[in-house]
Amino acid sequence: MHSCQICGNEIDVALSRCPHCGSDQENGQQGQSLSFSKKFYQKTVNLEQGLPTVEQALHRLQQAIAAARHEHIRVLTLIHGYGSSGKGGTIRQECRKTLDYLRSKGEISDVFFGENFNRRSGAVKHLLHRFPELSRHPHLNNANKGITLVVLF
């Protein structure tokens, strides 16, 4: 196993394409470590897996951010789902409130809600300029209300 050079998720060494983000992988020597200063790292975390309670999902959120910092992840894509009510589920709402709070405290750099993750947005243009690898993000321009991107320092 090794980390995808684009999204940072663990993938089998034998794969030439990441099953998480679809990016082609360079064929390097097995066990070769990647330089964090030269590579962009993005990771996707599914907060709704296993149908957690709101409290469990918020705990996973905190754990995901702590792990991402430890792993030198720059952008964390959170899958929190949209909910079945048609107006956004409680997990989505509470995760986004928590992320807004963390941003206001300076614990995370920025937050991009999936429905606003569009190339035409000025803030997203700046994000894509900063992290060009995100131009291949599978949720770019999809108006996906069930995800949120978190930019870490």
28 — phi, psi (to 5°)? -110, -175
Instruction: Look at residue 26 and tell me if it is in a domain.
Output: no
Q: Tokens standing for 25?
A: 């992988």
Instruction: Look at residue 24 and tell me if it is in a domain.
Output: no
Question: What is residue 23's predicted lDDT score, i.e. its pLDDT?
Answer: 62
Question: What is residue 3's predicted lDDT score, i.e. its pLDDT?
Answer: 67
Q: Name the pTM for this structure.
A: 0.73
In the chain, which residue ranges form alpha helices assigned H by DSSP? 54-70, 90-104, 122-130
Instruction: Look at residue 99 and tell me if it is in a domain.
Output: yes
Which residues of the chain register pLDDT less than 70? Answer: 3-10, 18, 20-39, 85-87
Instruction: Look at residue 16 and tell me if it is in a domain.
Output: no
Residues in Cβ contact with 129 at an 8 Å cutoff, skipping those fewer than 6 apart: none
Tell me the C-alpha distance between 149 and 114, whole Å: 7
Q: pLDDT digits over 11-45, tens only?
A: 777 777 767 656 666 654 333 333 333 467 899 99
Count up the domains in the chain and report the number.
1
Q: Nearest Cα to 147, choosing from 112, 122, 101?
A: 112
Instruction: Look at residue 13 and tell me if it is in a domain.
Output: no
Instruction: Look at residue 125 and tell me if it is in a domain.
Output: yes
Question: What is residue 7's predicted lDDT score, i.e. its pLDDT?
Answer: 55
Q: In 3-state terms, what secondary structure has residue 99?
A: helix
Instruction: Look at residue 8 and tell me if it is in a domain.
Output: no
Residues in Cβ contact with 1 at an 8 Å cutoff, skipping those fewer than 6 apart: 10, 11, 12, 13
Backbone conformation region of residue 131, classed left if phi is above 0, alpha if psi is from -120 to 50, else beta: beta
Question: Which domain, by its residues, includes 133?
Answer: 36-151
Q: What is the CATH number of the domain that holds 119?
A: 3.30.1370.110
Burial of 49 per CB tally in 10 Å (0-12, 13-18, 19+): exposed
Instruction: Look at residue 12 and tell me if it is in a domain.
Output: no
Q: Nearest Cα to 102, choosing from 152, 53, 44, 42?
A: 152
